[in-house]
Amino acid sequence: MIGNSRKLLSILGPYTPAPWREHYSLSRLFFNFYLLVMGSFVAIAIFADFVISTAVKGITDDYTSRFMHGTIVLIEDELFRKPRSKWPQAVAALDQKFAYRLDIVDRWTLHLPPKQAEKLDNGELAIDAKGDVLYHRLKQTSQVLVVGPISPDRNPEYHRGMPLDLRISLLTWSLIGVCLAIAVWLWVHPVWRDLEAMRQTTRALGEGLFEARAPAMRSNAFGPLAETLNGMAERIQRLIATQKELSSAISHELRTPIARIRFALEMLADSEVPADRERLWRLMEGDLDELDGLIDASLTYARFGREQPDLQLTAVELAAWLDEQVEASRLLEGKLDLQVDTATLPSMLYVELDRRTMPHAITNLLRNAMKYAQGKIRVSAQVDDEQILVHVDDDGIGIPADERERIFSPFTRLDRSRDRSTGGYGLGLAIVQLVMEQHHGTASAAESPLGGARFTLAWPLSQSVTES
């Protein structure tokens, strides 16, 4: 097996973690997010301006026409007071008095949209597409009075540097950009710190430092993610610790029965006495049973410690369920006096428990009591302070006060129980503890009224019900 493992390692090669990317920076995150937000804002603003301008264009044109109608009529009356040959000079003189341009052109030189051309020919004011130049056909002539551009920014003689509307637009967008940059920075900075903390934690986990944990997140958005990551790290750390513990402990526990089997085989080869050979066969069968029991207990403990399954709670009548569990173990108790006392329980008390895992806790406590009891075992139950308490008492040698917490650790056996016939494998009580943790309860040891040890299972009564 060792040779095959080395061969497999030589094929796969040593594990080398993938290099980490270092192109993760606050400035890059800020710049990318700022461009996204600013670009989206500008696109929305342009689209909104286009929609609004299109919607109010008719209203704006109508207002311009009514606003300029009186001025244009006065200009027209002024022109008709003079001969048509004097109109160019009159328009030039009037042009000097207005802040916008005046001109006279022939009708055929204008190319207006059909709707505006129809209005012009009907004697109404026509407006160009930009709403800044007005056209009025002079009475009973083919000439048209052109007024505008009305806006000073479109008249070169009135330009004084950058147009006002452009200056206002640049100032407005500059202020918007600065304010948006500050807002984006205030949002991105704590997010970046949380992401960086998460990255450092995942990097440490990737390098095998399973004790690493993500710190408290400043952003509420990453709080659940950090909790999930820490929970995953704790689970991985627990699984690896359990694996190492099991591997180390099992390898140690296997040596004794294997050594005894090897020694018995050597003696069996040299012995020709039938009685000796029969005794050696029985010893080897006992060692094989011990190996089988150790492997079964180890697998059960590993399964409980690894899977942490969701509880499938079922309501059961506690008194009847305890009787059922004890009856299943009576065949193992031999001459011991095994009693069940549920007199203090409320009548028809129903509790919720997982019927797959809770029997492991009761059975392991009963087996442990049977190993040490001198003649009597008592199983009792009670309700105390919103908790279900199940006691397993024996009249054995008891447990010292300073050892009552340690005995629930895996592969822990007290010095006086090193004999495998009573000491077991040190996994039964560890399995009991895991089962109670899954039920949000505890397992504890104390001194028994019978003189030996008392083991108590306690879990919440909050989901239990009593039928009257």
Q: Which residues are part of the catalytic machinery?
A: 252
**Positive or negative, the Cα torsion across 421, 423, 427, 429?**
positive
Closest to 376 (Cα-Cα) out of 324, 335, 417: 335
78 CB neighbour count, 10 Å cutoff: 14
CA separation for the pair 400, 281 (Å, rounded): 38
**Could you identify the residue written with the tokens 């005995």?**
407
Whether residue 181 contacts residue 34, with contact meaning beta carbons closer than 8 Å, is answered with yes
CA separation for the pair 55, 233 (Å, rounded): 59
**Positive or negative, the Cα torsion across 73, 74, 79, 80?**
positive
What is the Cα 359 distance to its own chain's centre? 34
DSSP H or E run through 122: none
CA separation for the pair 291, 447 (Å, rounded): 32
DSSP alpha helix (H) spans, 81-123: 87-95, 114-121
Write out the DSSP string of 368-393.
HHHHH-SSEEEEEEEEETTEEEEEEE
Sorted by sequence, the CB contacts under 8 Å of residue 95 that are 6+ apart come out as: 101, 102, 103
CA separation for the pair 440, 461 (Å, rounded): 11
Whether residue 381 contacts residue 389, with contact meaning beta carbons closer than 8 Å, is answered with yes
What's the angle, vertex CA 324, arms to CA 408 and CA 365, rounded to 5? 15
Tell me how far CA of residue 217 lies from CA of 181, 214, 233, 383, 431, in angstroms. Answer: 23, 8, 16, 42, 36
